Chains A and B, each alone.
Chain A
Amino acid sequence: MYLAKILITLRKSILDPQGKAVRHALQSLKLSGIEEVRIGKFIEIKISSKNKKEAEKIAEEACKKLLANPVMENYTFSIEELPA
């Protein structure tokens, strides 16, 4: 069994009003040095497959076909093997 940890982020060119609102809230906490906040999604998927390479292929396809929309989002993921 493998665990895919998928990170979906808004593309750089896309404004992130949610991140901006959170940045304002953080700044109002008087936390110093906060300059930018971008909000994305984190998705975990358990995949049973023959090997890591195949799990990677499946995660890649899941991202491409459904989890991320290339018009506005980028994705990255890592795959780790779960103890049996």
Chain B
Amino acid sequence: MKSSVVKFGIVVFPGSNCDYDCFYVLKKILKQEVRFLWHKHSSIEDVDVIVLPGGFSYGDYLRCGAIARFSPIMKSVIEFAGKGGTVLGICNGFQILCESGLLPGALLRNKSLKFICDYVNIRVENNKTIYTSAYKQGEVLKIPIAHGDGNYFADDDTIKMLEDNGQVLFRYCEPDGRVTPNANPNGAVNNIAGIINESGSIMGMMPHPERASDAVLRHTDGRRLFESIINERLLKCLET
């Protein structure tokens, strides 16, 4: 890795539709090295960070993310993740991470049965991770969601583990930061919008930070998520 940039690989499944949004933010706004990784390829090459973007991989057939999980590239992604590699899943990417077993739980149909495309407020629950270090603890972010299956569910023991370990990174909340049933768009347990694995390398979230990263779109709260990853990678690089 060159000292000044991070190499991002964005996996493209048939039906991914936020791949170019991620590419644009990482390449054009944040000036990083970015390449697409086709789902049929088996190598993730020499990337530092993998992004599983949003969309409707394989038409959401069977269950969201269920079929993507078995595409050739995922074998390498799972291997990379197993070695502590940084893997970010956004929306459909989060669903794929859960289906792969890289993150616990599952994303069920929204409680309202409606596909929701809207801005939501989410609260940063833990800023001591490589994904959230550029945020303040408890900060409220305005970031869009666009999903029909974002209702995070896991059994009670898993939820307790996530909560106790600080693995819940984002929670749907009111504009003032209060976590209320009213602020929960999809019925997710404990208003969970994003989680991280135990070792802190794999993260999944339903909201779309890449859609809130360009000032032209008026909201830029998502950009610091990518900046956190870049800063942490570069810091790590300096240390070693």
A19-73 interface (Cβ within 8 A of B)? 21, 66-67, 69, 71-72
Query: Which of B70, B106, B109 is close to A69, meaning CB atoms less than 8 Å apart?
Result: B106
Task: Bin chain B's interface residue count.
Answer: 10 to 19
Interface string of B107-130 (1 = CB under 8 A from A): 011111100000000000000000
Q: Binding site of A, secondary structure by majority: helix, strand, loop or mixed?
A: loop
Identify which of residues 67-109 in chain B touch chain A, using a CB-to-CB cut-off of 8 Å.
Answer: 67, 70, 98-99, 105-106, 108-109
Kindly state whether residue B66 has any CB partner on chain A within 8 Å.
yes
User: Scoring B residues 128 to 158 as 1 if CB is less than 8 Å from chain A, else 0, what string do you get?
Assistant: 0000000000000000000000000111000
Can you name the residue of chain B whose Cβ is closest to the Cβ of A72? B106
Q: Select one of A13, A17, A69 contacting B99, CB under 8 A.
A: A69
Which residues of chain A are near B105, meaning CB under 8 Å? 71
- Give the size category of A's interface with B: 10 to 19
The reply on B63 being an interface residue by CB < 8 A is: yes
B62 within 8 Å of A (CB atoms): yes
Q: Which residues of A contact B (CB under 8 A)?
A: 13-15, 17-18, 21, 66-67, 69, 71-72
Given A17-B109, A71-B106, A72-B106, 12 other A-B contacts at CB below 8 A? A14-B108, A14-B153, A15-B108, A15-B187, A17-B112, A17-B113, A17-B187, A66-B66, A66-B70, A67-B62, A69-B99, A69-B106
